[in-house]
Amino acid sequence: MSENRERFSGDMSRNEVEIDLSKFMEMVTENNELKQQIFELTHEDKANPWQKWIFAARAVDSWRIWPRAFLSVYIFLIYYVVMWFIGLEAPTMEQSGLISILVGAGAAWFGLYVNSAAKEHSTNNEK
């Protein structure tokens, strides 16, 4: 009788199997332990001591802090340069050229900023 408890039996045509309850509970426990090990291996971020720094770096990248800061400083500076130019009594050709180049560079800078954001969002949506 003890030999029968160690062996599987049942009707294979109906996909039924008979197994001892203690053996079944051992299998379920072993299966759960394996699932827990797999879960821990696939979620390495819990074991990574640098995960907080990685999260901060991703946040800085996704919030685009540096490009926005540079653009804000540029807007601030271009405002003062344009106000300086408007205040001139008789601007020279060189001063007009300087303002033209600075304003054109600002438009190019802003265009690069906007286009880079569109590319990032399109790649995130494809994932």
55 domain residue, yes or no: no
Split into its structural domains, the chain has a count of 2
CA distance 82 to 87: 9
pLDDT class for 92, splitting at 50, 70, 90? very high
CA distance 113 to 107: 10
Please give the residue range of the domain that contains residue 69.
64-126
At residue 2, the pLDDT reads 54
CA distance 75 to 106: 8
Provide Rg for the chain, Cα atoms.
34
18 — phi, psi (to 5°)?
-105, 135
Same domain, 6 and 37: yes
Same domain, 79 and 121: yes
Same domain, 122 and 76: yes
pTM for this prediction: 0.47
Same domain, 68 and 121: yes
